[in-house]
Amino acid sequence: MNLKSLILYGMLIPFATSFFACGDNGEINPSGSNNIGENFVGEKDPIVLNETNHAMTIYNFKSENRCVVEGDKYEFVVHKDTSQVYREYKFLGDTLVLLYKDGDHTYGQVLVGGKNGQIKNKWKVTSCHYIHERNSVDCSGLANPDEVIKGSTVYFDITQDTLFISRIDSKGNAIDINAPEVDDYDDYTGSTFVQDLFEFMDYAYKGVSVVGNLPAPWGAFRTTWSDVGECNIECVALKKDVTIVSRDKSHMSFNFKGVNYELNFSHALHWLYSRGSRAEVSLSLKSDKGECALEYLSDVIQSPEICSAENAGYLDLYTYYSSNDSLLFYGAKDYHIGNHDEFRSCVVGLVRR
């Protein structure tokens, strides 16, 4: 889960054992709260704090690069918008709970390290959660409740008008929470890309049209689709008459319709941004008939140069609508480069006999 999702929606973790207070022995902020210097690294969100009603509204400002297309005109636009999130809060001893709704139930994001009854303090975000119906906090099943994102600790420093959000690594160094993060998913041969590849090969073998069934390279960073239930890649293979001979996270040997294949991911990288992501995939599929190689890159539009008519073939063009179905714009937020179509044709040639 990215940090912004964590902040705005809280965290839900399977619960069992409960407790109330989560004291932090004062080591977080021994000299008091809100010691924010000019060299602060993190995010600053304006807030409206209502201590009387134990509530605050958080305002978040974001910008998004767009390539807007109108006829033959391509225009690079930096779109800016503001979102707001309303949070009520409560104290359980020296624990601060930021409440949020999930369906008919109320949960809470749990923060520690401040002072009872004084929200204007520096608080450490935990992976524990509050269950309103039980009026209790649960940290069960967590090896390290302080570890919120990949070995780091997140702090909220709350003042009268600003929420300062910082992230600290295990060595005490500040991390830019707006910087891209590397996706730690690395089971590429167990991904939706391979699941879709099996289905694609099955269609190609049967002579069924494969248009629209091209495996998406960014699927290399997702586990198998949820519509097959708990079915892992081995289970998916059985459904498509594929026998997996051996596999590790980047290499797989398998047999399909009596033919042996070798699938190898030589490079895979997935960067996560606050909006969008960058995916890089290099792989090969071999059989006794030959070898198909895929080179693919997709990214959010970072600069005006990509937004032009001559690059139209690289742009992921869509019609975008608002939440109330009104037209926002026609154009692209992302682009891709690679030999995707050639790879598809090559795989069809390998499979069809």
List, for residues 274-312, the tens digit of each pLDDT value. 778 899 999 999 999 999 999 999 999 989 999 999 999
Identify the pLDDT of residue 230: 62
Question: Are 351 and 256 a contacting pair, CB within 8 Å?
Answer: yes
Residue range 182-223, pLDDT digits in tens: 888 899 999 989 988 998 999 889 887 765 556 678 788 887
Q: Residue 247's beta-bridge partner residues?
A: 252
Question: Are 204 and 196 a contacting pair, CB within 8 Å?
Answer: no
Judge whether residue 105 has pLDDT over 50.
yes
Identify the pLDDT of residue 2: 35
Question: Are 137 and 20 a contacting pair, CB within 8 Å?
Answer: yes
Residue range 13-70, pLDDT digits in tens: 222 333 334 444 333 333 334 456 667 888 899 999 999 999 999 998 888 899 999 9
Cα distances from 189 to residues 19, 102, 225, 253, in angstroms, run: 41, 34, 14, 10
Determine the 3-state secondary structure of 214 from DSSP: coil
Handedness of CA 165, 87, 320, 224 (dihedral sign): positive
Q: Residue-wise over 135-147: b if at least 16 C-beta within 10 A, else e?
A: eebbbeeeeebbe
Q: Which amino acid is at 15?
A: F
Q: What is the mean pLDDT of residues 122-141?
A: 88
Residue 255 exposure: Cα atoms within 13 Å on the Cβ side: 5
**Burial (Cβ within 10 Å: 0-12, 13-18, ≥19) of residue 124:** buried
Residue range 207-265, pLDDT digits in tens: 877 655 566 787 888 876 544 456 788 888 988 899 999 999 999 999 999 999 999 99
Degrees to nearest 5, angle at CA 190 with 197 and 281 = 65
Judge whether residue 125 has pLDDT over 90.
yes
Question: Are 156 and 164 a contacting pair, CB within 8 Å?
Answer: yes
Identify the pLDDT of residue 148: 62
Cα–Cα nearest to 111, from 81, 163, 161, 154: 154
Handedness of CA 309, 312, 315, 318 (dihedral sign): positive
